[in-house]
Structure formats: structure tokens, C-alpha cells
């Protein structure tokens, strides 16, 4: 191993996800960080360094949001950095925490995620308009909904996937979310396929109940070196692989039907983890699911299904939480079922894998035995993939 330290996860914590939190961004960060420290049985005095993640600061309406969040993240008097790859930030926070410790510089790292989207009005989509080119895309009033609808349509047309399949993803994740204590009010739900199919079309083929909501929330995880982990009573979960990769920033220059950036990030993480057959070696997955089609799209990019096969596996129950032979996908409820405070939602996915591997997921605990799992997020200009593989 070329790294100085093997890195373990020893605690995770989340706030409730909300449409509009009273808490400031800093207070959300503090609540998430405190919960993670408590879960690890540690205090801030045990922490050597801090990493924070939050997506576009235009949501919070605070310029230099990483600096603003620092005290809420527990960074006073410590080496601190914010890391940022847009929506991929939640998972990338864990990657950044991993290399702080893997480098040998630190034994412990608190990784804190926060997102407060509610301050941005009239809608946070206004922030997303401004991530695109001011001459070629912004004049058309671009937002993420319609950019993604182009991608979804391409995926549907390529493989002939019916709308019911995407509704089924939303149904699965929203049902799973009913068991998550952080789930945003009204987002987790037990819905009929017909209800989901009847929800309003926002940008064809994207429908309201197949899109994750606007959310506020925080979360954190505690990473430690192997020698520190050995001093704790709870067995650690190891970070076995990390990967990240960037596709072209131009939507015009991309395949759209297949997320190459995810495949490359996954290959990097699998190689590091010594995984040659991900369908055998990955037992549980938290793919990034801000839109229903993205879960299937990403499962294919993660090579957990052949291209175009994730919808068929869905119909067979392969991704269900209670599958005994498949790979449970988004057992947490995902972004569709718990909520989408962007960076904190990615952290929630990582936390789910940690809790599942520890056997601490309570009513969400999957049926099959799990020794290794992954969390994946997607973001930046929607061309970045971030992957973390964890194992017992």
C-alpha cells in the first residue's frame, strides 16, 4: 500500500432534513458534527483536522461559505479546508478526509457537510442557471431540470425504458425513506405508481415526484487512522477505495445515455479496493439519485449492471432493500426519499453505508449479509463522479 495510514470510519451523524430550517448554516454544521462525534464516542479534542463540504454558496447567500462555516464545523484552532465539487461534494468530503489521514499527517479528521438551500429565492434553480455559460446556455433560461430531462430522454430512448420504471425507482426510495429519522417531512411516502405517474410534468420527461426536493440539512463523519481505530471499542469500517473523475463540461460533447465519469471514478476506487468483479464484491450501494432515472444511470456507470440493464434488474427486485440475492440500492431512501441538502445528502449516503456495515441501520438494515458497500455522488457542472468504497 503506497499510503502511510489505512483509514477507518468510526462515527456518523445527521440532522433532520428540512424544507426550511431555523438553524443557520453554521448551526446545521454544528448539529451534524456533534452527532457524528457522539456516535464515535469522541470529542473535538480528539480531532486533528477538519474538512467541510457545502455545494454552491449562492444557496446560503454567504460568500466564502467554507470560511463562514468553519467554527460550526469545529475547525477553531485546527488545520481546516473546504473541498468542493458541487453535488459530488458530500462523497468527496470523505475522499478529502481520507487523504488527510492516508498521507500520515493526521490520525483523526472530522468531515462536516452542510447545505442550506432555502435562503435562495425565488428558487435555488436560479443559482444553477448561473453555473452555465453566459452566452450559449444562460440566454435560454437554462436550469438543471431541463438539462437533466435531456439526459433522461436520451437514456429512455437508447434502451426503451418506460416511464413506469422510473416511477418505480421513486416509489422504492420514498418507501425506504419512511424508515429514516432524517427524512424530510412529506418527502418519504408510500405512493402508488399511478400517483407518481400522475404527478405534474416539470420538464418532459421529468415529473415532480421523480425529483428530489429542495432541502436544508447537515451531517458529518469521523475518520481515523488504523492505529487510532485500534484504541476504540467499536470495530471500524475501512475506507477501502476512493475515486473521482471529471467528464467534459459541455453537455453537447457527452454521450448522455451513459455516465462515463462514474465508471472512471468507480474503476479508480475498485482498483484501490482490489475489486475485480463489483457485482460479486459490492453488497450494497448508495448511488446518487436526485432524479429517479439517475439511480439506474449511475448503477450502470458503477458497473453494478450492464449498460441498459439496471431497469430490468429493478423490475426483478434486484435493488430492493430486502433482496437476498441482489444489491440493495439506496436503502436509506436516497435523495428522493430522505431529501437533498446537496453536500449533506452525499454525506447521508456515506453514513448509510457505514451504518449498514456496522449493522446499525435499524429498520433500514438490509436482509442480505453485507461486508462491502459504496456511496457515489455526482455534481460540479454535472460531469463529476465521486465514489467511496467501504468494507468491514
Q: In sequence order, which residues have a C-beta less than 8 Å from that of residue 5 and are 6 or more positions away?
A: 101, 102, 103, 104, 107, 225, 226, 227
Residue 317 as a binder of another protein (CB under 8 A): the answer is: no
Residue 119 as a binder of another protein (CB under 8 A): the answer is: yes
Q: CA-to-CA distance for 180 and 186, rounded, in angstroms?
A: 12
Pick one of 41, 79, 104, 126: the residue that binds another protein (CB under 8 A): 126
Residue 44 as a binder of another protein (CB under 8 A): the answer is: yes
Residue 293 as a binder of another protein (CB under 8 A): the answer is: no
Residue 134 as a binder of another protein (CB under 8 A): the answer is: yes
Q: CA-to-CA distance for 319 and 165, rounded, in angstroms?
A: 13
- Binding region for another protein (CB under 8 A) out of 33-41, 253-261, 267-275, 350-358: 33-41
- Binding region for another protein (CB under 8 A) out of 32-40, 255-263, 271-279, 307-315: 32-40
What is the dihedral sign for C-alpha 182, 186, 192, 195? negative
Residue 4 as a binder of another protein (CB under 8 A): the answer is: no
Pick one of 72, 93, 259, 379: the residue that binds another protein (CB under 8 A): 72
Q: In what order do the strands lie in the sheet with 237-246?
A: 80-83, 49-53, 108-116, 216-225, 7-14, 237-246, 384-391, 372-379, 284-286
Residue 63 as a binder of another protein (CB under 8 A): the answer is: no
DSSP 3-state of 204? coil
Q: Which is nearer to another protein, 26 or 267 (CB)?
A: 26
DSSP 3-state of 389? strand
Residue 1 as a binder of another protein (CB under 8 A): the answer is: no
Residue 195 as a binder of another protein (CB under 8 A): the answer is: no
Q: Which is nearer to another protein, 123 or 227 (CB)?
A: 123
- 219: β partners: 14, 113
- Binding region for another protein (CB under 8 A) out of 87-95, 129-137, 261-269, 353-361: 129-137
Question: What is the smallest separation between the CB atom of 75 and another protein, expressed in angstroms?
Answer: 9
Residue 61 as a binder of another protein (CB under 8 A): the answer is: yes
Residue 100 as a binder of another protein (CB under 8 A): the answer is: no
Q: Are the CB atoms for 40 and 11 separated by under 8 Å?
A: yes
Q: In sequence order, which residues have a C-beta less than 8 Å from that of residue 45 and are 6 or more positions away?
A: none
Question: What is the smallest separation between the CB atom of 59 and another protein, expressed in angstroms?
Answer: 9
Question: What is the smallest separation between the CB atom of 126 and another protein, expressed in angstroms?
Answer: 4
Q: Which residue stretches of 134-247 are H helix? A: 144-159, 163-177, 193-197, 226-229
Q: Which is nearer to another protein, 44 or 191 (CB)?
A: 44
Residue 268 as a binder of another protein (CB under 8 A): the answer is: no
- 345: β partners: none
51: enclosing H helix or E strand:
strand 49-53
How many of the chain's residues bind another protein (CB under 8 A)?
34
Question: What is the smallest separation between the CB atom of 61 and another protein, expressed in angstroms?
Answer: 3
Residue 30 as a binder of another protein (CB under 8 A): the answer is: yes
Q: Which residue has the cell 487510532?
A: 228
CA-based angle 91:66:352, to the nearest 5? 25
How far are the Cα atoms of 16, 36, 206, 318 from residue 342, in angstroms, in the given order? 14, 18, 19, 27
Question: What is the smallest separation between the CB atom of 27 and another protein, expressed in angstroms?
Answer: 5
Question: What is the smallest separation between the CB atom of 220 and another protein, expressed in angstroms?
Answer: 12
Contact residues for another protein (CB under 8 A)?
A: 20-24, 26-27, 30, 33-34, 37, 43-44, 58, 61, 71-72, 74, 76-77, 118-124, 126-127, 129-130, 134-135, 138
Amino acid at each position: 500500500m503506497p499510503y502511510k495510514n489505512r483509514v477507518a470510519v468510526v462515527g456518523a451523524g445527521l440532522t433532520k432534513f428540512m424544507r426550511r430550517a431555523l438553524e443557520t448554516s453554521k448551526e446545521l454544521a454544528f448539529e451534524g458534527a456533534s452527532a457524528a462525534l457522539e456516535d464515535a464516542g469522541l470529542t473535538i479534542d480528539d480531532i486533528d483536522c477538519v474538512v467541510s463540504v457545502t455545494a454552491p454558496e449562492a444557496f446560503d447567500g454567504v460568500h466564502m461559505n467554507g470560511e463562514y462555516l468553519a467554527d460550526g464545523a469545529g475547525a477553531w484552532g485546527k488545520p481546516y479546508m473546504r473541498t468542493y465539487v458541487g453535488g459530488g461534494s458530500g462523497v468527496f468530503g470523505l475522499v478529502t478526509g481520507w487523504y488527510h489521514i492516508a498521507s500520515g499527517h493526521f490520525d483523526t479528521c472530522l468531515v462536516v457537510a452542510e447545505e442550506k438551500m432555502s435562503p435562495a429565492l425565488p428558487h435555488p434553480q436560479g443559482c444553477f442557471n448561473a453555473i452555465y455559460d453566459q452566452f450559449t446556455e444562460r440566454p435560454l433560461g437554462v436550469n438543471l431540470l431541463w438539462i437533466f430531462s435531456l439526459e433522461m430522454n436520451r437514456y429512455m430512448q437508447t434502451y426503451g425504458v418506460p416511464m413506469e420504471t422510473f416511477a418505480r425507482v421513486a416509489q422504492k426510495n420514498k418507501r425506504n425513506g419512511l424508515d429514516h429519522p432524517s427524512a424530510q417531512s412529506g418527502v418519504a411516502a408510500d405512493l402508488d405508481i399511478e400517483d407518481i405517474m400522475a404527478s405534474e410534468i416539470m420538464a418532459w420527461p421529468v415529473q415532480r415526484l421523480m425529483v428530489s426536493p429542495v432541502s436544508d440539512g447537515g451531517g458529518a463523519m469521523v475518520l481515523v487512522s488504523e492505529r487510532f481505530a485500534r484504541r476504540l471499542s467499536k470495530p471500524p469500517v475501512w475506507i477501502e477505495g476512493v475515486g473521482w473523475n471529471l467528464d467534459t463540461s459541455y453537455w453537447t460533447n457527452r454521450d448522455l445515455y451513459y455516465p462515463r465519469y462514474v465508471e472512471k471514478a468507480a474503476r479508480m476506487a475498485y482498483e484501490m479496493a482490489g475489486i475485480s468483479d463489483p457485482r460479486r464484491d459490492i453488497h450494497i450501494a448508495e448511488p446518487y439519485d436526485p432524479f429517479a432515472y439517475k439511480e439506474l444511470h449511475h448503477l450502470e456507470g458503477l458497473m453494478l449492471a450492464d449498460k441498459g440493464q439496471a431497469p430490468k434488474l429493478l423490475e426483478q427486485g434486484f435493488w430492493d432493500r430486502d433482496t437476498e440475492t441482489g444489491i440493495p440500492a439506496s436503502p436509506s431512501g436516497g435523495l428522493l426519499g430522505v431529501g437533498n441538502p446537496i453536500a449533506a445528502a452525499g454525506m447521508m449516503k456515506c453514513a448509510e453505508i457505514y451504518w449498514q456495515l456496522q449493522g446499525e441501520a435499524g429498520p433500514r438494515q438490509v436482509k442480505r449479509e453485507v461486508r462491502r458497500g459504496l456511496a457515489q455522488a455526482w455534481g460540479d457542472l454535472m460531469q463529476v463522479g465521486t465514489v467511496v468504497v467501504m468494507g468491514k
